[in-house]
Chain A
């Protein structure tokens, strides 16, 4: 057979690697800043753009899509070319992918601090950026599938399957979760409402973890770990089972993010069952990784690449055991909405994704620059400071989570809440927030040491942009026989379709009943659409990212119905919530029953200086809400958009809506005036107060609600 000569494209890998490092540092730094703001709220410098609610999404988006995303692309572009013995399908597509992705990141870094957000976690970017993400993702997919089609290696190695699954699933998740109706150039409302929106969001959110943070990195593990250990993966058979069972089961588990919420019970149970089943494939993969090192454990002592990878795979194992346990309802009852979850995701993020990336970079950079690592000693320092960072980060937060949750639930002998003031449970854990920030600082310091080491490594070597290779062309003759899977490994398109089918089954079975069967979301007659002023207020709530710290979901526990002085939240209460704002973390108290709980002037003073009404509060002040004015010109557009997605505003209401808006504002302003507070009717705080006073009151008004 004739040998073909070709070149591997290392330049694209280099660029993605640089982007990984740069955005990694930025993302971690923002994380450190928001961690510090939790005990030092003044660190936002009193301006909106650096306030927790706006830059917490910046942190999550930066580390997920910029740091881990670029690391994934660097790793995929390097390994895929070599596993398929082919250059990437198109250099132009590679570069469109690279620059397009970086532009999206920059767009995120600009829009999120400006408060342009959909509020849906890890999907906060507004609709024009959503469209850009779709296009660039398709470019990545074409480039990948194109490379697979022109490969010189008949069979696809397991890493490639994981890459294909990543591409297919993230595409489906992103498109389905991003259905939204634009209101202005950078404002949209989710197509779905309330319970349905929550279900779609967490089907997306959970599987973003699965198919953006897990499957591509498992692919990387199956390539770089054998590479670094210089021995084949422990069991290739296990990797086949690992792959199919993981993608088949993962997609069902999303509802475990919504246990004890208003989501129908059957969907919650489905999420629990599949989450527990997930232990099997996850641990199969973890053991497959660790056992690859059998007989080579002595090398782990010397080689920093292996050290990082061993801790990464171990962290994966811990996080994927913890996840299913957290999906058991009675564990979830304690852990949900607390810092336990933050600790859990950071074991995965810092341990699995971070350390896997570091290990990969320590291997890739010397390789592509044709040299040895500048300093093994520095890499070892990075390893230890990073490991210590993870521990110092996670342990205090586990403690904080359990302590706070137990305080929330603690009743005294007289049958009253032991800590009726939410703030007591917050001040208790502030020292743990401080320790957590220290952990983050250690981790970031380690990453900086790595950057120095890698730059020095690159300087002492010379970069080889084009790496010559040769391989025989793939014979065109039809290969028959073999088992169905080895046949599958030869047929990438069928493989991709089967992957798609595997992930669609779970998604469809979860969602179709929730959307089609009316009784899943019992309607409540007294629940009415928001007034125009409340709509403006709700959009301010979304802009400021209030949902990052406050939930709107009173769970059916006595400790919650007593604390929040109202009934637990019902599915029917959220039918006009585009998007839903249930939140996932209670850094502050739940707000679903806050309507009517305080008078207007309390809210006025509280938002201006939270410590004036709640001494010791760690909530930042929002002085700009008193200066900024709402734009009544947007009212009509908001109402029309919401009517399109099914909110029953009467035809023509948009023309008279501003009269209602003015009337309601006047009422609030007059009430405030009786407390000697002067504020213009169009001030944003007035709209926000209107929204907060509305929250959860619909069923208070009508005690005989149809449940």
Chain B
């Protein structure tokens, strides 16, 4: 049934190949980037919610 619907689309064979490529490239690219990311950048980013308070603003003497 699946095939029947799509046979009417011109050049339908290319669609799944494109989809697979999009996914493959996307996730491999993401993985490669994440693995190569520099450590100091990561620690800078992850500390962001914690660094924002100036001590003088901090009324609750921080949790």
Flag whether B24 is at the interface (Cβ < 8 A).
Answer: no
A residues near B57, Cβ cutoff 8 Å: 467-469
Flag whether A85 is at the interface (Cβ < 8 A).
Answer: yes
Interface string of B25-45 (1 = CB under 8 A from A): 011001101111110011111
Contact B5 A158 (CB under 8 A): no
Contact A232 B60 (CB under 8 A): no
- A230-B62, A482-B41, A519-B4 are known contacts. Are A83 and B49 too (CB-CB below 8 A)? yes
In chain A, what residue has the closest Cβ to B36?
A483
Q: How large is the interface on A (under 10, 10 to 19, 20 to 34, 35 or more residues)?
A: 35 or more
Interface residue ranges, B against A (CB under 8 Å): 1-2, 4-6, 8-9, 19, 22, 26-27, 30-31, 33-38, 41-50, 52-54, 57, 59-60, 62-63
Q: Offer 25 A-B interface pairs, CB within 8 angstroms, sorted by A.
A: A153-B48, A155-B45, A159-B49, A226-B50, A227-B49, A227-B50, A227-B63, A232-B46, A240-B30, A241-B34, A244-B30, A245-B27, A264-B1, A265-B2, A370-B59, A372-B60, A467-B57, A469-B57, A485-B33, A517-B5, A517-B8, A517-B9, A519-B4, A519-B5, A520-B5
Alpha-carbon distance between A83 and B52 when the two chains are bound, in angstroms: 7
Alpha-carbon distance between A248 and B30 when the two chains are bound, in angstroms: 12
In chain B, what residue has the closest Cβ to A266?
B2
Contact B34 A240 (CB under 8 A): yes
In chain B, what residue has the closest Cβ to A224?
B49
Contact B45 A513 (CB under 8 A): no
Contact A486 B49 (CB under 8 A): no
Flag whether A366 is at the interface (Cβ < 8 A).
Answer: yes
The distance from the CB of B8 to the nearest CB of chain A, in whole angstroms, is: 6
A residues near B50, Cβ cutoff 8 Å: 226-227, 230-232
The distance from the CB of A518 to the nearest CB of chain B, in whole angstroms, is: 8
Flag whether A606 is at the interface (Cβ < 8 A).
Answer: no
Of A83, A371, A484, the residue contacting B48 (CB under 8 A) is A83
Alpha-carbon distance between A264 and B63 when the two chains are bound, in angstroms: 54
The distance from the CB of B28 to the nearest CB of chain A, in whole angstroms, is: 12
Alpha-carbon distance between A231 and B47 when the two chains are bound, in angstroms: 8
Alpha-carbon distance between A82 and B22 when the two chains are bound, in angstroms: 36
* Besides A155-B48, A486-B41, A520-B5, 15 other A-B contacts (C-beta < 8 A): A79-B49, A153-B48, A155-B45, A227-B50, A240-B37, A241-B31, A264-B5, A265-B1, A366-B60, A372-B60, A468-B57, A483-B36, A485-B37, A489-B45, A519-B8
Contact B45 A158 (CB under 8 A): yes
Contact B27 A223 (CB under 8 A): no
Flag whether A157 is at the interface (Cβ < 8 A).
Answer: yes
Of B46, B52, B54, B59, the residue contacting A233 (CB under 8 A) is B46
Of A266, A469, A513, the residue contacting B54 (CB under 8 A) is A469
Of B2, B8, B37, the residue contacting A237 (CB under 8 A) is B37
In chain B, what residue has the closest Cβ to A367?
B60
Of B5, B30, B54, the residue contacting A241 (CB under 8 A) is B30
In chain A, what residue has the closest Cβ to B37?
A483
Alpha-carbon distance between A62 and B21 when the two chains are bound, in angstroms: 42
Interface residue ranges, A against B (CB under 8 Å): 79, 82-83, 85, 153, 155, 157-159, 222-223, 226-228, 230-233, 236-237, 240-241, 244-245, 248, 264-266, 269, 303, 366-367, 370-372, 464, 467-470, 482-486, 489, 505, 509, 513, 517, 519-520
A residues near B27, Cβ cutoff 8 Å: 245
Contact A85 B60 (CB under 8 A): no
B residues near A489, Cβ cutoff 8 Å: 45
Scoring B1, B36, B42 by chain A CB atoms within 10 A of each residue's CB, the highest score goes to B42
Of A158, A232, A265, A517, the residue contacting B47 (CB under 8 A) is A232
B residues near A82, Cβ cutoff 8 Å: 49, 52-53
B residues near A79, Cβ cutoff 8 Å: 49
A residues near B34, Cβ cutoff 8 Å: 237, 240-241, 485
The distance from the CB of A372 to the nearest CB of chain B, in whole angstroms, is: 7
A residues near B46, Cβ cutoff 8 Å: 226, 232-233, 236
The distance from the CB of B36 to the nearest CB of chain A, in whole angstroms, is: 6
Contact B48 A505 (CB under 8 A): no
Alpha-carbon distance between A352 and B5 when the two chains are bound, in angstroms: 40
Alpha-carbon distance between A449 and B23 when the two chains are bound, in angstroms: 48
Alpha-carbon distance between A197 and B26 when the two chains are bound, in angstroms: 31
- Which A-B residue pairs are the 9 nearest by beta carbons? A370-B59, A232-B46, A236-B46, A157-B48, A82-B52, A266-B2, A237-B34, A226-B49, A236-B42
Contact A483 B5 (CB under 8 A): no
A residues near B42, Cβ cutoff 8 Å: 236-237
B residues near A485, Cβ cutoff 8 Å: 33-34, 37
The distance from the CB of A632 to the nearest CB of chain B, in whole angstroms, is: 43
B residues near A236, Cβ cutoff 8 Å: 42, 45-46
Alpha-carbon distance between A83 and B48 when the two chains are bound, in angstroms: 7
The distance from the CB of A298 to the nearest CB of chain B, in whole angstroms, is: 14
In chain B, what residue has the closest Cβ to A228?
B63
A residues near B33, Cβ cutoff 8 Å: 240, 483-485
Alpha-carbon distance between A159 and B45 when the two chains are bound, in angstroms: 11
Alpha-carbon distance between A154 and B59 when the two chains are bound, in angstroms: 27
Alpha-carbon distance between A228 and B62 when the two chains are bound, in angstroms: 10
In chain A, what residue has the closest Cβ to B7?
A519
The distance from the CB of B25 to the nearest CB of chain A, in whole angstroms, is: 12
Alpha-carbon distance between A469 and B54 when the two chains are bound, in angstroms: 7
B residues near A241, Cβ cutoff 8 Å: 30-31, 34
- A230-B62, A519-B4 are known contacts. Are A245 and B30 too (CB-CB below 8 A)? yes
- A83-B49, A485-B33 are known contacts. Are A513 and B60 too (CB-CB below 8 A)? no
Of B6, B26, B43, the residue contacting A513 (CB under 8 A) is B6
A residues near B30, Cβ cutoff 8 Å: 240-241, 244-245
Alpha-carbon distance between A240 and B54 when the two chains are bound, in angstroms: 27
Alpha-carbon distance between A519 and B41 when the two chains are bound, in angstroms: 53
